[in-house]
Amino acid sequence: MGKAFQFKLEGLYFIYEKMEREMNVDINSLLTAKYRKAKFIFFILAIILFCCLIISARLGRADIGAIQVLKIIAGKVSGNPQFLQDIMDSQQAIVWDIRLPRILTSILVGSGLAVSGAVFQSLLMNPLADSYTMGVSTGAAFGAALAIYLNLIVQDFTLPITLCAFAGAFLTLGLVVSIAKVKGYINTANLVIAGIIVSTILSAAISLIKSAAGEQVAAIVYWLMGSLAARSWEHVYLGLPFIVLGTLVCIYFSGDLNIMCLGEQEARTLGVDTQKVRRIFLICGSLITAICVSISGIIGFVGLIVPHMLRFLIGSDNRILLPLSAVFGGLLLLLADTAARVLLNVEIPVGVVTTLLGGPFFIYIFVSRKKTFIG
């Protein structure tokens, strides 16, 4: 009897081991296929982004060929004058000093807005969350509007608009976090409520500044619409380190962000320091947003559209979502800015283009989800 019972136990244990091995193989194969698909999409998006960069650099009033664009970039980057021998100085100046800084700025800003949007959506567990939800963009807009207004009314005194927008964004973040903090802890629901409250107050303050500006309000309104016109290499050098560093930090901690999406209690049970992780993502997401808004003004819907579109393709794993958001966000804003620059005789602010694209997209999402829910 004892031996028979022992044989049964050994048989059950053998079956359990076999099932566990099969499950591990299935999970590993699924993960491998998922990462292989993500790498393929990343590679394709990177190639499309590079091709669009070259095409965008040749589009404009001055007709410059793609081969000339490549030679100008190769000659300037390598310092080899042989690439530039048959190219006029005016064409070099148009591509290298005017078009390319604007193109790179659009890629950086698009990448930053998409990554920060994905971070805030996962962190706040709200599919409609972005930097506007936290009030960071509104804070940057208030700082920029105040700087423009003071520059208009005060003679022989100029405030840097980019710096003031950056300061406004971070002061707003500090205010939102201090309001949301209860007994030393930051609650997700409190963050959303505090962000909406502060954003509403700052929006009213911006309206007050626009009213006080009178006939000179056009400068403030144009900045608030979001534009990448007249961007230089200074804007590229300003945005590059902050956006790249913030994105890399977010990607590094993306595994913890996945666990945070399970809920506060579950994340703590699994050993995640939720307060530390939340603080890291709040700072990085707000830093990226502050830099982007201070460079380009208010450009809406990029941080909402890009993460949603990618979730349809690859799911909600932030280890994959954040790198792809960076590439696809840069591509989307580059296409939107190129369209704003070349389609009409008068340049359209790129913020208007992204809003025109984003509105119908979210109507489509809402209608699709409503049909799914009813079905």
What percentage of residues in the chain have a pLDDT greater than 70?
A: 89
Number of structural domains found in the chain: 1
> What local confidence, expressed as pLDDT, does residue 359 receive?
78
DSSP 60: S
Burial 326-346 (b: 16+ CB within 10 A, else e): bbbbbbbbbbbbbbbbeeeee
pTM to 2 decimal places? 0.87
Name the one residue in this structure whose structure tokens are 């019972």.
Answer: 5
Q: What is the DSSP letter of 215?
A: G
Phi, psi dihedral angles at 85 (to 5 degrees): -60, -45
Structural element, H or E, at residue 182: strand 181-182
The model's pLDDT over 197-245, given as tens digits with 9 standing for 90+, comes to: 999 999 999 999 999 988 888 888 888 888 898 889 999 999 999 999 9
Element spanning 186, H or E? strand 185-186
Report pLDDT digits (tens) over 62-104: 888 899 999 999 999 988 888 888 889 899 999 999 999 999 9
Task: Tell me the three state secondary structure of residue 293.
Answer: helix
Give residue 14's pLDDT band: very low, low, confident or very high (50, 70, 90).
very low
CATH number for 30: 1.10.3470.10
On the question of pLDDT at 182 being above 90, the answer is no
Residues 6+ apart with CB under 8 A from 266: 259
254 and 105 Cβ atoms separated by less than 8 Å: no
Q: Which domain holds residue 272?
A: 2-374
